Structure 1
Amino acid sequence: MIEFKNVRKVYPDGTEALKDFSLKVENGELMTLIGPSGCGKTTTMKMINRLIEPTSGSIYINDKEISDYNIHELRWNIGYVLQDIALFPHMSIAENIAVVPEMKKWRRKKIRDRGIELLEMVGLDPSTYQRRMPSELSGGQQQRIGVIRALAADPDIILMDEPFSALDPISREQLQKDIRVLQKEIKKTIVFVTHDMDEAMAIGDKVCLMKEGQVVQVDTPQQLILNPKTQFVRDFIGERKSPWQTAVDVIADQSQSHVIFLSDYEQGLYNQSGMYAIKDEHNMYVGAVNDGNKVDIKTIDNDIPLFQATEVIQSDEQVILPVLKEQKLVGILTNKDIIAFLRSKTKVENGVVQ
């Protein structure tokens, strides 16, 4: 866990970058930092590995103040991914990945095995890419190497400073998807700085919206959309966000009208027609029924955007789409829910769609 408590940072020229800044990032959470230029995002990130020291206040990692850690050990346990990637051009890909494990005096076989494991994790064939030089890779491939190099020594924390901003839109969108998939597997604590609102909302478990060195709102992307606390949040989030990019758990029906309990089904207490999702007493999704018969139906993850969900719905004739978060049922998505949501986000004046 990373925690900032009443942190203030004033630079020698008098610029106050952070003002009474407090923030908690839970273990295994991906927190995105977003806000206008100069709001203190990068300063916040660089304080975690002590590239910048606070003027006052305290920063903790796992309830221990970071100033109490040996600075080398602290940084070895924090991976860092930069915008400009900064791969060593004279080193092969395998050698780039091995830099920190070698500093930590890992055995050669362990380093080699770790490199192979990481390349496979991001879809790059080790037999093809291990011996290549950075100049032989595309921008997206180089950035993947930058990410797994940060993971090489298995740090608990990863800092990502606008890592995808220099990439073309297609590569950037693919890497955003990749980092979400990767995070589900590795479950690291990640702090991700970005200036792109869609990116912050697409990849963050939580989003910290900052303004003038202060936290304005920290929330899930869905809650930022549904319950902005100030007009600044409403303007910064709402006006820039396409409804098609909204995560489906914002839209899904949570009324339980399309859900039955497993115990009711097993005891024969269910006799309704139509399609229903089944959940157990722990809210875990266990299947579906259609007119009384168990059926296999498609499900979707809670954090995918609406436009992806519509592709799933269009590819099948099922009338409900269970929305899951780590196999827990968080809601049901139907065409009716989608239409109602899109209508709520569409401005109509004098019969004309704006």
Structure 2
Amino acid sequence: MRVTVIDIAKKAGVSQSTVSKVLNNYPAISEKTRDKVLKAIKELEFYPDLIARSLVSKKSKTIGLIVGDISNPFFSEVSKVVITNAREQEIDVIISDTDYRLENLEWAIRNMIGRRVDGILVASVDRHDTITTDLEKKGFPIVLFNRHTDDKGTPYVVIDNERGSWLAIDHLVKLGHSRIAYISGSLNFSTFHQRYEGYKKALTDHDLIIDPGLVYSGNTDSLEIEKFLRKILFNKNPPTSLYAATDQLAMIVIDLLTKIGFDVPADFSIVGFDNIDIASNPHINLTTISQNKQKMAELALKKLLNIINEDNDDLPYQIILEPELILRSTTRSIRENN
């Protein structure tokens, strides 16, 4: 049978209220009494009823984390950062994967609120979503990170995606590339939309033509991307480089180019975005844009906990981090190819 506070009190020879005070870290308990209670807890293998405690304290010490696709290395890596940092503060994390579908986001939010989470972090949201904004307006603690909505009515922590794209294109242009293709997921997400805007701005700033034929956005299935690559690589004026809006897409492109018969970077330079852990693997060594995912996740968690605890918040309502170009070996000067 489940061990109760009554059992602990009998074992330690103290009152139930004393046990409750020890469990809730009340300061006005002698060390001797505290030690007796803790010893009884250990011997009886007592596990506190967190649900019951949350009903009293109005806090569950649990938060929700909603990501787009947990199999995507970026989302798994930021999830690990959130979980590790939350655990250090004795906070549990419930994770849900939306598979980038609105109905799954709605279900995840309903489910988490039903489980009495204290607040929710959302790492993937559609630009036109109103669910998270409505929740924030109702006073429920919610913070977006990685992506945000167009109305920007919710606290968020993101990278300057437009600037990141500009750095990627600027790097390729300095290497002599003027025909630069762009591949991304749906522009309904702020990350891809802003990275596309940065791509166009960088081309314009360098007096280069924006060729719609070199742009792909939408379904990130490898078969669709392969169709696009074969279309642009074998026309009269093919690109010499490609900027992928995520590292995951960049690695798909590298695999496909190898399959088609090209070499990276000898035939084709590639730049990604995210700087996921595997990007630095010596067999990949991907040139990419870092969005400092660890700092982003840490700040998002800190922001959410400040809102939950109603602490004096020294963080801006919305935070935009600076990107960084990480140079590795998937880009090469055109002059080296000649």
Bin for the TM-score computed over the shorter chain: under 0.3
Higher helix fraction: Structure 1 or Structure 2? Answer: 2
User: Which entry has the higher C-alpha Rg, 1 or 2?
Assistant: 2
TM-score where L is the length of structure 1: 0.25
TM-score where L is the length of structure 2: 0.26
